[in-house]
Structure 1
Amino acid sequence: MPTLTKLKGNDVALYGNQVNVGDSAPVVTLPNSGLEEVTIGGAQDKAQLIVAVPSLDTPVCAMETTKFNNQAANVEGATVYVVSMDLPFAAKRFCSTEGIENLQVLSDFRDKCFSAAYGTLIAEGPLRGLSARAIFVIGKDGKVVYKELVEEITAEPDYEAALAALKEAAAK
């Protein structure tokens, strides 16, 4: 049975490898808004918060990115990434317009390697080809310590739970 999320109450199947708490976080390389390659996942010297969103060009995604820019980026010993299917040029414009300076916005537009590796690629419906809304916290050892696949794509994630998991992972 495929993993499901919802879009306006309707079931939507997801494609890709389902990554869960305790799993090793897949390593992927994505371009940032300056087209520089950034590697995320796996073991790193800091805990990682990876926020998957469908598009920065929607109100919920913009609000979510802004909240994490203001809150999660203050967690010492952590790096925060927002991954969307937006082109790097659009992401750069968004970050400039919204004052996003405390996290890295990455694009999965080229080959959808993040969405496929983490199981967030929407397989059907009007948002097919975009990423579902999800949060992954990865410890310094490269293990997933927190995951939230937001049940309704149009809803915000549990910020408090994600931030608490990130703070705990960064302190280890």
Structure 2
Amino acid sequence: MANVTLGGTPVETIGNLPKIGSKAPNFKLTGTDLTDKTNDDFKGSRLVLNIYPSIDTGTCAQSTRTFNEKASQLENTRVLCISKDLPFAMSRFCGAEGLNNVESFTDYKTGDFGTTYGVTFTTGAFETLLSRCVVVIDTDGTVLHTEQVNEIADEPNYEAALNALK
């Protein structure tokens, strides 16, 4: 389990991120159009999984904006923003912000993504939500980069994630 902080208070996650060099675990997520997507739907694309607690927090919103801006410069790369928010909230945010270079998905139905990727909080005020993480996956499904952000209020290291794709 990962030990991180929320406002300086220690909290824990259910496990650890996948190891660099391993195959990315399978996942099933729900899109803003309410259809389910799995790893198979993204075969042949490089993926940046921008994982966070809720789009309705400042840092989560900023990470979505930043990855949206940077995604337009990446070849054959899709940025998947993943939380446990309802699809309607995610769609509303991206629509209001005019964000077209990221795709929003939710783990609200089963929570399996959070468990499989080891990112579900098991303690603290955000218990059952997803912790702030980035996972970068190559076209063949290999994990190239992971980051578990130590303090939930902090933004991820965008450059490290994007450099993993170079």
Q: With the length of structure 1 as denominator, give the TM-score of the two structures.
A: 0.91
**Which residue of structure 2 lines up, in the alignment, with residue 153 of structure 1?**
152
Gap change, CA 1:147 and 1:41, over 3 Å in 2: farther
**Which residue of structure 2 lines up, in the alignment, with residue 44 of structure 1?**
43
Letter in 2 for 1:69: N
User: In structure 2, what is the Cα distance between the partners aligned to 1:105 and 1:32?
Assistant: 6
Residues 121-140 of structure 1 mapped to structure 2, 5 A cutoff: 121-140=120-139
User: What root-mean-square deviation, in Å, do the aligned CA atoms of Structure 1 and Structure 2 show?
Assistant: 1.6
Gap change, CA 1:73 and 1:121, over 3 Å in 2: farther
Gap change, CA 1:136 and 1:42, over 3 Å in 2: farther
**Which residue of structure 2 lines up, in the alignment, with residue 77 of structure 1?**
76
Gap change, CA 1:135 and 1:18, over 3 Å in 2: closer
Gaps of 5+ in 2: none
Aligned residues: 166
Q: CA deviation at 1:133?
A: 0.2
Is 1:100 the counterpart of 2:99 in the alignment? Answer: yes
Gap change, CA 1:43 and 1:142, over 3 Å in 2: farther
User: Residue 157 of structure 1: SS of its match in structure 2?
Assistant: coil
Letter in 2 for 1:79: R
Gaps of 5+ in 1: none
Is 1:32 the counterpart of 2:31 in the alignment? Answer: yes
